[in-house]
Amino acid sequence: MAVARPGLPAATTAGETAGGIPPSAWITALVLVIMPALASDFFLVQVFGWALVLGTIALSLQFLAGYGGMVSLVQMTVAGFAGYMVAILGTSGLTQISLGWPFWLAVPVAILLAVLFGTLSGALAVRTAGIYTIMITLAIAAAFFYFTRQNETVFGGFLGFNGVRAPVFWGIDWRSPVPFYYLCLGWAAIAWGLVVWVVRAPFGLALQGIRDNPRRMAALGFDVTAHRIAAYAFAAFLAAPAGILLTWMNGQIAPGTVGIGPVIDILVIAVVGGLGRPIGPFIGALLYVLLRIFALDALVALGLSGQRFQLLIGLGFLVTVLFSPDGILGLWERARHRWSAPLNRGGR
Amino acid sequence: MARAIAERLSATGTVNALELRGVTKRFGALLALDDVTLSVRPGERRAILGSNGAGKTTLLNCITGDFPASSGTIRFFGEDVTRFPAHERIRRGLRRTYQISLLFGGLSVLDNVYLACLGVSRGRFSLLRPRRDDALVESARALVHAVHLDEVAEKKVAELAHGQQRQLEVALALAGAPRFLLFDEPAAGLSPAERADLVAILQGLPAHMGYVIIEHDMDVALRVVESVTLMHEGRIFKEGTPEEIEADPEVQELYLGHGRG
Amino acid sequence: MARAGAMATGEPGAEGGGLARRVERHPLAALLLALAIVLFLWLVLADWPEELERWLGRKRVFVSALFNGITLGGLYFLVATGFTLIFGLMRNVNLAHGSLYLFGGYLAYSTVQATGLWLPSFLVAFVLVAIVGLLLQVLVFRHMEGQELRQTLVTIGLSIVFADLMLWVWGGDFYQIPTPEWLAGPIDTPIVLDVRPNGEAVYLRYPRVRLVIFAASVVIGVLLWLAINKTRVGMLIRAGVDDREMLAASGVPIQLLFALVFAFGAGLAGMAGVVGGTFQSISPGEDTRFLLASLVVVIVGGLGSIPGAALGALLIGLAEQFGSVYLPTYAIVFSFLIMVLVLAFRPQGLLSVR
């Protein structure tokens, strides 16, 4: 299909080739770690924190789409579900609903429930294959959005929950800028590492084999359906903590967080960044966040209303899908290819 | 339990490896398989012959569960597998090759075989990466060796010659501990030398491994089997030994006469 | 590759045979269905005993939920049938379909505002939205044939852009297209809601416009069915749904056929927008709502099948209306549950084409 997908990595030679980490990766990691010394609090949380969180949610989509061939629109919903669960099980401004569990209980249970939710959604979506996935997951996401908006007793209706705070322990307020940045960076790094690891483990290899050739995989003894559902579970596990971080960042969770707009935005982020590699979604997320924050001024400067932001996002997405289906990542790789080896690759 | 009993029975020869009763397959209005009843003993090697469109490949697809039979029952070593999904049948020791290329072109030969070994192992969902001395990797290497592909083991499958891809198909079917194999035209497009190689591989299989082979090349087919089933328009119309079939005048006219182009 | 995913789960050959054969094959299901129909007719026509009213509330509530559900189903059918038609022939999951609906509604509103004419606004909406559909097929989708996922992603991008452009032009207000005088007001139906103590029967009064529009959508549905099953173009479309390679090989100007079907499907969505704008109202967000309704309808009914769209639309319309009457907080769950059940037991949809 047209949208870029990473090739199957070599299984039997994994040990030999995994050693080399390029210097650019080391530099990026270093910059990210010392970021609090470089950036203001606003940039730390509102730009980098937000981008890392959105990037992680989009990463869970990249995993499913890139390695499993399943473009799932339910990932933002899974993240939002985890956020809702933390608000319901833990503490929030809506004291008549929130159960007030301590965070060390509420957070794991919320993640567990969100994984369950993601797995069930996946089980529904994999009943049919191909282009149905996008339709069914979109329908699930929409149903959840409308449900949270209508349901007052459990989900707090239209207004949702406010006053959902990150915990304070070891004498640290984990919502203050620097610790919160490290929380976001920590989970993003773990999630990224997990994806990189899993796609070369037997489970990930099987998943990619199923993406390329489900019939053959079944004839080799693989339970295609079970593998796909397990992939949804894994992706939900990546997205759920990010959803909780997002809720802590905003201090609230409401239907708007899991609306159709945000659901599509995650797809936009993943596709624009590039579905080819796990780093793509983070690039897309950073771009999205920067646009979100600074496009307003730019639009106004151009004499347009700040509301035209969506137009910008839509056009950017369209241009990507039409002209560089493998996203910015693909664009970058092609450009590097052309400049570094102009002699032996004249034709391309 | 039931499987253990079935296995013991099969060892004594009272249970057939493959037992098809009244298997029918419809595609819309088209009757691709019409009431096929067939039994193959464990260790038996059987050729299915017939012109194009006789329903041979459809029969294999129904046996492996690539798509379900419309009606009828299929037993594998005594166990009713009619409603089993494909992977469950494979895990019970059934294997097949494909006539059409369903290989992983972007992977190396070794990785293709590794996936096949993984599919019938318990580590399918493992999150641990394989080490170089992994047992599955070892068995994959052994299989690559068995089908004489050592020299291209690290090559991408897409870069392989046609004949080598056919050999790789056979290797994928031999992964794990197969009890019965289905070969779908393994010799199609092979050079005479490669055919000889294939015949050697088939004849070298352990005696307990029975198989059904669909093959247009009579020289290959009749050299590697002990019984023959003839199909025509979705039905079975004759069974016998290779000698009987070759000598049968009706068969001569219907199939051998003009089916060899 | 193009059709590998979508319909592969369909059981080929399950559709054969007429009504009699189906009844023969599933006697229990047929009996249950017949019983359900009888019970249903009784519920609508009979004077409700007190016991029943205690259970289900007043008959008026039940019957008006029923009528609202059926007429809403008619609207859903109009939207979803274009979606399903486009998918059936071109394997294009057009997620900008809701935008076409909303665009049609806005166009009709502006037309009615400018001219005061209601019926011609249908024509305006149909033609202009059909032109948009035509342009999309000719300029965009024909260049990425067979790339299902990419096409769908493009339609997502388009829906974002369209939504913002429409917001730019028409703003964020709610609009309702005024009902023309000759359709305004209620109509007396022969359905008895209640019998007063003095023996006088109370009849259901129902908005005339909704009934007329429902009748129109039934007519459109029947005409479509006839067109697809009895005409040459319809035959080509059916052949294309079954086997595109064969159609392409037969020398039919397939690109022209694709463009026409895309235009027609889009035009239907535009017309549905007029209906929706008259029934309810149009505003930003309605595009998503009706896109989702179409999705659920075609998933339930079977993607690519027009009778499936009709059945799905009816089921979802009824589920939504009965849900909002009897279980308001969980109304959305009803239509969703139907989708889940269908996916669990018949993933290819109730009336799948194969």
Residue of C nearest to A309 (CA): C164
Secondary structure of C78-140 as H, E, C letters: HHHHHHHHHHHHHCCCCCCHHHHHHHHHHHHHHHHHHHCCCHHHHHHHHHHHHHHHHHHHHHH
pLDDT (mean) for C227-241: 77
CATH of the domain at A261: 1.10.3470
Asked if C346 contacts C338 with a C-beta cutoff of 8 angstroms, the reply is no
- CA A257 from chain center: how many Å? 14
* Residue A258 resides in a domain: yes
Crossing angle for the helix pair B109-119 and A202-212, to the nearest 10 degrees: 100
Contact A130 C5 (CB under 8 A): yes
Question: Distance between CA atoms of C273 and A152, rounded to whole angstroms?
Answer: 31
Return the bridge partners of A162, or none.
A252
Q: What's the pLDDT score for residue A83?
A: 94
- pLDDT beyond 60 at C14: no
Using pLDDT thresholds of 50, 70 and 90, give the confidence band for residue C17: very low
> Which residues make Cβ contacts (< 8 Å) with residue C94, sequence separation at least 6?
C83, C86, C87, C152, C155, C265
User: Residue type for A235, please?
Assistant: A
Q: What's the pLDDT score for residue A239?
A: 95
Contact C16 B70 (CB under 8 A): no
- The total number of structural domains that make up chain C: 1
- pLDDT beyond 90 at A232: yes
Contact B87 A12 (CB under 8 A): no
Is residue C171 classed as helix, strand or coil in its secondary structure?
coil
Using pLDDT thresholds of 50, 70 and 90, give the confidence band for residue A5: low
Reference A264, options C246, B114, C157; nearest CA is C157
Decide the pairing of beta strands B227-232 and B235-240: antiparallel
More confident residue, A57 or B41: A57
Question: Distance between CA atoms of C102 and C96, rounded to whole angstroms?
Answer: 10
> What's phi and psi for C34, nearest 5 deg?
-60, -45
- pLDDT beyond 50 at A301: yes
* Residue A156 resides in a domain: yes
Residues of chain B contacting residue C3, judged by C-beta atoms under 8 Å apart: none
Using pLDDT thresholds of 50, 70 and 90, give the confidence band for residue A57: very high
What is the distance in angstroms between the Cα of B134 and the nearest Cα belonging to chain A? Answer: 9
Q: What's the pLDDT score for residue B11?
A: 54
Average pLDDT, chain A: 83
Of C148, C295, C332, the CB nearest to A138: C295
Reference B173, options B201, B133, B207; nearest CA is B201
Asked if C276 contacts C174 with a C-beta cutoff of 8 angstroms, the reply is no
Q: What's the pLDDT score for residue A241?
A: 95
- pLDDT beyond 90 at A244: yes
> What's phi and psi for B184, nearest 5 deg?
-105, 100
For residue B97, count CB atoms less than 10 angstroms from its CB and return exposed for 0-12, middle for 13-18, buried for 19 or more. buried
Tokens of A14: 């994994």
* Residue C25 resides in a domain: no
Reference C150, options A131, A120, B167, B163; nearest CA is A131
Residues of chain C contacting residue A325, judged by C-beta atoms under 8 Å apart: 150
- pLDDT beyond 70 at A8: no
Contact A318 C157 (CB under 8 A): yes
Is the ipTM, as predicted for this complex, more than 0.90? no
* Residue C135 resides in a domain: yes
Residues of chain C contacting residue A322, judged by C-beta atoms under 8 Å apart: 140, 154
* Residue A11 resides in a domain: no
Residue of C nearest to A154 (CA): C329
Contact A318 C161 (CB under 8 A): yes
Residues of chain A contacting residue C5, judged by C-beta atoms under 8 Å apart: 128-132
Is residue B135 classed as helix, strand or coil in its secondary structure?
helix
Residues of chain C contacting residue B26, judged by C-beta atoms under 8 Å apart: 12-13
pLDDT (mean) for C225-244: 76
A134 part of contact set with chain C, CB < 8 Å: yes
Compute the C-alpha angle A258/A262/A265, nearest 5°: 150
Give the tens place of pLDDT for each residue, C181-208.
777 777 777 776 666 677 777 777 778 8
Of A202, A215, A219, the CB nearest to B130: A202
- The total number of structural domains that make up chain A: 1
B177 part of contact set with chain A, CB < 8 Å: no
pLDDT (mean) for B237-249: 82
* Residue A22 resides in a domain: no
Q: List all chains that touch chain C, counting a touch as 3 or more CB pairs closer than 8 Å.
A: A, B
Question: Distance between CA atoms of A239 and A137, rounded to whole angstroms?
Answer: 15
Contact C336 A143 (CB under 8 A): yes
Question: Distance between CA atoms of C298 and A198, rounded to whole angstroms?
Answer: 36
Asked if A261 contacts A309 with a C-beta cutoff of 8 angstroms, the reply is no
CB pairs under 8 A between B and C: 11
Give the tens place of pLDDT for each residue, C125-184.
999 999 999 998 888 888 887 788 888 889 999 999 999 899 888 888 898 888 887 777
Superfamily grouping for domain B1-93+178-261: P-loop containing nucleotide triphosphate hydrolases (3.40.50.300)
- pLDDT beyond 90 at A247: yes
> What's phi and psi for B185, nearest 5 deg?
45, 60
Least confident of A187-191, B78-82, C35-39: C35-39
A322 part of contact set with chain C, CB < 8 Å: yes
Q: CA–CA distance from C63 to each of B227, C42, C43, C46, C206 (Å)?
A: 71, 12, 9, 11, 10
Full domain range(s) for residue A236 = 33-340
* Residue A4 resides in a domain: no
Of A200, A203, A209, the CB nearest to B104: A209
Contact B86 A14 (CB under 8 A): no
Compute the C-alpha angle A94/A97/A101, nearest 5°: 95
Every domain of chain B with CATH number 3.40.50.300 lies at 1-93+178-261, 96-177
Residue of C nearest to B29 (CA): C13
- CA A203 from chain center: how many Å? 20
> Which residues make Cβ contacts (< 8 Å) with residue A99, sequence separation at least 6?
A88, A89, A90, A106
B154 part of contact set with chain A, CB < 8 Å: yes
Compute the C-alpha angle C146/C152/C157, nearest 5°: 135
Contact C168 A311 (CB under 8 A): yes
Asked if C351 contacts C307 with a C-beta cutoff of 8 angstroms, the reply is yes
- CA A55 from chain center: how many Å? 5
Contact C160 A267 (CB under 8 A): no
* Residue A120 resides in a domain: yes
Contact C153 A315 (CB under 8 A): no
* Residue C57 resides in a domain: no
Using pLDDT thresholds of 50, 70 and 90, give the confidence band for residue A4: very low
Give the tens place of pLDDT for each residue, A18-54.
446 677 778 888 878 777 777 787 777 788 899 999 9
Asked if B37 contacts B20 with a C-beta cutoff of 8 angstroms, the reply is yes
- pLDDT beyond 60 at B256: no
Of C165, C168, C339, the CB nearest to A139: C339
Residues of chain A contacting residue B119, judged by C-beta atoms under 8 Å apart: 206, 217, 220-222
* Residue A252 resides in a domain: yes
Torsion sign across C-alpha atoms C291, C292, C295, C298: negative
* Residue A300 resides in a domain: yes
- pLDDT beyond 80 at C12: no
Q: What's the pLDDT score for residue A80?
A: 94
- pLDDT beyond 90 at C333: no
For residue C227, count CB atoms less than 10 angstroms from its CB and return exposed for 0-12, middle for 13-18, buried for 19 or more. middle
pLDDT (mean) for A185-207: 90
Give the tens place of pLDDT for each residue, A102-161.
888 889 999 999 999 999 999 988 877 777 888 889 888 988 998 888 888 888 888 888
Q: What's the pLDDT score for residue B6?
A: 54
B181 part of contact set with chain A, CB < 8 Å: no
Contact B27 C16 (CB under 8 A): no
Q: What fold does the segment set B96-177 form as a domain? A: Rossmann fold (3.40.50)
B103 part of contact set with chain A, CB < 8 Å: yes
User: What is the CB neighbour count within 10 angstroms for residue C242?
Assistant: 15
Average pLDDT, chain B: 82
- pLDDT beyond 80 at B160: yes
Secondary structure of chain A as H, E, C letters: CCCCCCCCCCCCCHHHHCCCCCHHHHHHHHHHHCHHHHCCHHHHHHHHHHHHHHHHHHHHHHHHHHHHCCCCCCHHHHHHHHHHHHHHHCCCCCCCCCCCCCHHHHHHHHHHHHHHHHHHHHHHHCCCCCCHHHHHHHHHHHHHHHHHHHCCCCCCHHHCEECCCCCEECCEECCCHHHHHHHHHHHHHHHHHHHHHHCCCHHHHHHHHHHHCHHHHHHCCCCHHHHHHHHHHHHHHHHHHHHHHHHHHHCEECHHHHCHHHHHHHHHHHHHHCCCCCCHHHHHHHHHHHHHHHHHHHHHHCCCCHHHHHHHHHHHHHHHHHHCCCHHHHHHHHHHHHHHCCCCCCCC
Q: CA–CA distance from C29 to each of B45, C35, C165, C339, C350 (Å)?
A: 46, 10, 50, 20, 14
Mutate to test the interface with C, among A291, A311, A319, A320 (most CBs of C within 10 A): A311
Mutate to test the interface with C, among A72, A124, A131, A309 (most CBs of C within 10 A): A131
What single-letter DSSP state applies at residue B130?
A: P
